[in-house]
């Protein structure tokens, strides 16, 4: 079984400072931003799964790349790092390992998803 790199584990789930800044910038639209991100991310995970099923490495790589970008922007560095692992695996054609990464990715997404929803409710 592929071991997801240790580096990403050193990153926090959420970058509190970045999130605070976003909240400051987005003002009233912060909530909309978070829900937009969360719903987009679910679509992306679904796209990654579908690419993996059809063994489309290129599509897998692109989706992982985009997911990486929006995750680091929203302030979810650990998820961003996992997406990068997936992007690299996809580009190098290691789709066998991608399955495992996708699992780790989903877990991490569920974690930050819960955290963000808590923030929204607060």
Partner 1 sequence: MEEALVEHGALCVLIADDSDSDRMILKTLVTRQGHDVIVATDGFEAVEQFRAHRPQIVLLDVMMPRMDGMEAARQIKALAGETLVPIIFLTSLSDADALARCLESGGDDFLSKPYNRVIIEAKINAFNRMRLMHRTLTQQRDLIHARNRQLLNEQEVAKRVFDNVAHTGCLDASNIRYHASPQSIFNGDILFACPRPSGGMHILIGDFTGHGLPAAIGAMPVAEIFYGMTSKGFSCEDVLREINQKLKRILSVGMFCCAVFIDADFHLNHVRVWNGGLPDGYLIRRDGRRIALPSAHLPLGVVSPERFAAEVVHLRTEPGDTLLIATDGVLEAENEYGEMFGEGRLRQVLDNVDNGLEAFDALMAGVGTFTGTQRVQDDLTLLSLVMVASEQLTDLTNGLPQSALHGPVSWQCSYEVSDKTLGHFNPLPLLLHICMEVPGLRRRSGEVYTLLSELYTNALEHGILKLSSAWKNSPEGFGQYYAERERRLAEVDGHCIRFSLRHTATPTGGELRLSCADTGDGFDHQIWHPVGERSGAGPDSPDGVRYAGRGLALLRRLCESLEFVGQGNEVEVVYRWDFSEPRAQG
Which residues neighbour 29 within 8 Å (Cβ) at sequence distance 6 or greater?
A: none
Stretch that binds partner 1, among 4-12, 62-70, 100-108, 114-122 (CB under 8 A): 62-70
CB atoms near residue 85 (< 10 Å) = 22
| Nearest residue (CB) to partner 1, 52 versus 87 | 87
| Nearest residue (CB) to partner 1, 1 versus 30 | 30
Work out whether 11 is an interface residue with partner 1 (CB under 8 A). no
DSSP string, 10-52: HS-SS-HHHHHHHHHHHGGGHHHHHHHHHHHHHHHHHHHHHHH
x/- string (CB under 8 A) for partner 1, residues 14-53?
Answer: ----x--xx--xx--x--xx--xx--x-------------
């Amino acid at each position: 079984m592929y071991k997801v790199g240790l580096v990403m584990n050193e990153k926090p789930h959420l970058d509190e400072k970045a999130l605070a800044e976003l909240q400051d910038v987005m003002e009233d639209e912060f909530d909309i931003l978070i829900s937009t991100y969360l719903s987009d991310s679910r679509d992306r995970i679904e796209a990654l799964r579908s690419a993996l099923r059809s063994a489309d490495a290129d599509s897998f790589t692109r989706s992982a790349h985009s997911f990486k970008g929006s995750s680091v922007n929203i302030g979810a560095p650990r998820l961003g790092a996992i997406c990068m692992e997936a992007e690299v695996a996809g580009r190098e054609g290691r789709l066998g390992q991608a399955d495992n990464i996708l699992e780790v990715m989903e877990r991490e997404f569920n974690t930050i998803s819960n955290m963000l929803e808590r923030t929204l409710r607060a």
